[in-house]
Structure 1
Amino acid sequence: MSVNVFFRIGLLFILIGILGTPQLRAQQNNIIPPPPHIKTIEFKPLDPDAYAPVVKLGEKLKLSFDDINADQRIYSYKIEHCDYNWQISNLSSTEYMTGYASDRIRNYQNSFNTLQYYTHYELEIPNENNRIKLSGNYLISILDDYGNVLFTRRFIMYQPKVIVAVSAHRSTDPSKINEKHSIQFVINHPNLVLNDPSREIKVDVYQNNDWNSVIKEIKPKNVLGTQLWYNYIDGISYWAGNEYLYFDTKEIRNATNNIFKTRLDNIFNTYLYATESRGHLPYSFYPDVNGNFVLRTLDADDVSLEGDYSFVHFSLKYDRNFDQDDIYIYGNFNDWQITPENKMEFNEESGLYEATMMMKQGFYNYTYVAVNSDFRINPYKVEGSYYQTENEYTVIVYYRKFGDRYDQAIGLGTTNSEKLQN
């Protein structure tokens, strides 16, 4: 076999690794899931229509959560700067922020008029005690009064130094044309001088702001003046998946759409209708919020303190003999994490996969995913994949020139597959 053939085979494997695979690797770097008594973590911009913790440098994010122990513990937080790969950077806190990198959470109150008692905590960043100076990736850790980390969350602050134009396409692969989306984009940098774009510029691509969906380390296919073109044909591709399932517990006492019955037993129990795996069914459209959730209640004015909890019972009809993968309930309700709490178990008596989670009142999107022994997430095996599915795609651009000690986040672009370009 010639050297040229070896080179082509090696390049093929490199491209497969760089530009995406049918499965997603559950990201565990620096990510600590919360303990059982911490519920309903929301981390998002102040804009009610935004769900991902990604904002321009200087804009605010709000982090909130409930402690169902309801004992008004003193919790604190710590903010750390990360590199492009979400590893803690070598910068000192004084280099990336002013004020305190670690401080107490001062805003907390006990719930009232609820069957499930809890203490609700809220924090805005930046705030009067800290200001973040540099764009990039960040990790926030919530600490108990002994300094132990309760849980962590990622967030991104960017400065718009470049313009990112993104488009979504149907796959041109005849075998995948009805199942996959292809993403292409152009980075315009008229005011940024790049000496070596392939090394100085890095990008991340996400589907529906799911951290596990990221495709990284993509090099520009063409460099034309002050434009970087990432116009690979099917190079940056995703399984389109299916529209998310949903339920709404804003009226926690009553059965509503997708809720079979409710029952009061110390706290509320919400029983969802059993759903069938949709992988073999025709595509059916209904609107969703791409895996996100919105807390709301009709029973009170302030869902933060008066929203109640229920045990939500999920059940899925799926052939357990199909393979040995585990089945998980999946969505932004737990930051797209794979944990014991959202794992389903097969019930021999009912013949269904089942799981129960304690969840606060609100509107929730979720789906079912298969996860193998290597913690690789298969986003389409249970629920199928259809090109008609509406998804949001986000491109985040990073810049590190030669000699710099950190990765700047310098641009963001989005598109929606509702308007496919082909």
Structure 2
Amino acid sequence: MNYIKNILSFFLIFIFSYQIQAQSKKWELVSMSDYKNKKIRYADFIYDPNVRTVQLYTLGGNLVDKQLNLPIISLRKRVPIILEFDVFGDDADYYEAELVHCNRDWTPSELQPIEFMKDYNSFKLNDFDFSINTRVPFVHFKFQLPQVQMSGNYLLMVYKEGNKKDLIITKRFVVSEETAAIGAKVVDRIGGQRRYEQQIDFSVNYKNLVSVNLKRDFSVAILQNGRWDNSLENLKPRFIKGHENTLDYSYSNGENSFLGSNEFRVFETSSINGGGPSISTTDVLKNFTRVRLHNDLVRNGKAFNQQQNDYNGGYVIHAFGKQEPWLEADYMEVVFNLKVDGPYQGDVYAYGSFSEWQLNEEYKLVYDPQKKSYVGSALLKQGRYDYMYTVLDPSKTKRDDRIIEGSFNLTRNTYDIIVYYRGPGDRADRVVAIKKLNTNR
């Protein structure tokens, strides 16, 4: 275990010393010192730097690359939800998990576990195995979540056995009961933002659901590519068509619009011997393998290029020629290199689903004036990864992808619309409809 910690410390060379502070409601700036703070976040978060490659996905949807399936399910279909993660070292602690029912704003609801599940709300993670022939040793864990009996937002908590305060992982998932219906489409915005943004117009038919105050009882969240860090939340209807039991959310002022952003950058490290997409060089060192990516260029101000097929920010673990990629895929040092004539006013990070959409100090790049490049590195498991660059402003409260990546309304994105409802007598917010929507550009 000390061996891995030394490796990790080698890579994390640019660490802030200040205590953790939430930079916004939806994302955080994370440094090594922050891992000492085990205060629960009702968000996707990793509390231990030795815990890696955390994925929560369903067995429905994409049957080829299941790891890309978002943890958003229906009570009717009962699709299993799977958690997988690694712990660095050749030994690991024992872990437990439990579920927390949350309201629409991701605060814990009043419901007790007996009200939303049949099982006792404590589960030991007994399904684990050791890495096979990897230079960086790890223990891999797999856990199938228990089924729940009510719709709503849920938080999965994983902690060291017998100590709920010693958290290692929290992950969000959503369960719908489908007692309402959604009609939706992506449309062009009117006005100056048309070239950069995507607007989601939709309506909700609430059928036979009883409501005393429709604007209070119903609320909607929209996720772009499954992300909670830039979600639109607490949307209220623009029009109410009571005779049709319909709520209309066709805004004209951008309340239901996202920056289209750009297609994600992609690299693949599935093969140690041969370079994958975006790989420049591969060096097999004594204790690990280092791969250098090709020089990335700033895309803001450039023409849109849709040739690249991406995972909308996700990643898939894979190792060529290996029968059990979760156990046989190794960890490598991936070196990022972003060519820029001069430094930005603010810090630059690489991020994506692999960083839980947080700005993690491990993925921070540092400007090299001689190379005229931002350079940084991180330990990542073999596979195919989507990523982008973002700039954190000097106040460390706002980030901006557009400075480096640009934004286009032609970008291929996926949107998930989630409808929340709390009716008379309900003690928690329910999810009554979900809808997946592709831009189909």
- Secondary structure (helix, strand or coil) at the match of 1:346 reads strand
CA root-mean-square deviation:
1.9
The alignment's TM-score, normalised by the length of structure 1, stands at 0.88
How far the C-alpha of 1:188 sits from its partner, in A, is 1.6
Amino acid paired to 2:303: P
Which piece of structure 1 moves more, 179-188 or 39-48?
39-48
**Which residue in 1 is equivalent to 2:281?**
261
- Secondary structure (helix, strand or coil) at the match of 1:232 reads coil
Residues 319/411 of structure 1: CA separation in 2 closer, same or farther (3 Å cut): farther
Please, which of 76, 84, 88 is the counterpart of residue 104 of structure 2? 84
How far the C-alpha of 1:71 sits from its partner, in A, is 0.2
Q: Is the 8 A contact 1:253 1:268 kept in 2?
A: no
Q: Is the 8 A contact 2:210 2:423 kept in 1?
A: no
Q: Distance in 1 between matches of 2:417 and 2:371?
A: 43
Stretches of structure 1 that go unaligned for 5 or more consecutive residues are 1-22
Structure 1 residues 279-330: Cα deviation after superposition (integer angstroms, max 9, x where no partner): 021111122111111111113111111111111111112355442x221112
Q: Is the 8 A contact 2:183 2:202 kept in 1?
A: yes
The alignment's TM-score, normalised by the length of structure 2, stands at 0.84
Q: Is the 8 A contact 1:24 1:212 kept in 2?
A: no
**Which residue in 2 is equivalent to 1:14?**
none
Q: Is the 8 A contact 1:250 1:297 kept in 2?
A: yes
Stretches of structure 2 that go unaligned for 5 or more consecutive residues are 1-22, 29-40, 63-67
How far the C-alpha of 1:24 sits from its partner, in A, is 8.4
**Which residue in 2 is equivalent to 1:156?**
174
Q: Distance in 1 between matches of 2:56 and 2:225?
A: 15
Q: Give runs of aligned pairs for residues 394-413 of structure 1, distance below 5 A.
A: 394-413=416-435
**Which residue in 2 is equivalent to 1:144?**
160
Structure 1 residues 11-60: Cα deviation after superposition (integer angstroms, max 9, x where no partner): xxxxxxxxxxxx98643543442322111111111136243211113321
**Which residue in 1 is equivalent to 2:42?**
30
Residues 193/88 of structure 1: CA separation in 2 closer, same or farther (3 Å cut): closer
- Secondary structure (helix, strand or coil) at the match of 1:211 reads strand
Q: Distance in 1 between matches of 2:70 and 2:24?
A: 19
- Secondary structure (helix, strand or coil) at the match of 1:359 reads strand
**Which residue in 2 is equivalent to 1:3?**
none
How far the C-alpha of 1:379 sits from its partner, in A, is 2.8
Residues 33/375 of structure 1: CA separation in 2 closer, same or farther (3 Å cut): farther
Structure 1 residues 324-351: Cα deviation after superposition (integer angstroms, max 9, x where no partner): x221112111221222122222234422
Q: Give runs of aligned pairs for residues 137-216 of structure 1, distance below 5 A.
A: 137-145=153-161, 147=163, 148-173=166-191, 175-216=192-233
- Secondary structure (helix, strand or coil) at the match of 1:214 reads strand
How far the C-alpha of 1:366 sits from its partner, in A, is 0.7
How far the C-alpha of 1:389 sits from its partner, in A, is 0.8
Amino acid paired to 1:85: D
Residues 104/385 of structure 1: CA separation in 2 closer, same or farther (3 Å cut): same
Q: Give runs of aligned pairs for residues 2-401 of structure 1, distance below 5 A.
A: 26-27=26-27, 29-31=41-43, 32-47=45-60, 49=62, 50-57=68-75, 58-126=78-146, 131-145=147-161, 147=163, 148-173=166-191, 175-224=192-241, 225-233=244-252, 234-265=254-285, 266-285=287-306, 286-323=308-345, 325-372=346-393, 373-401=395-423
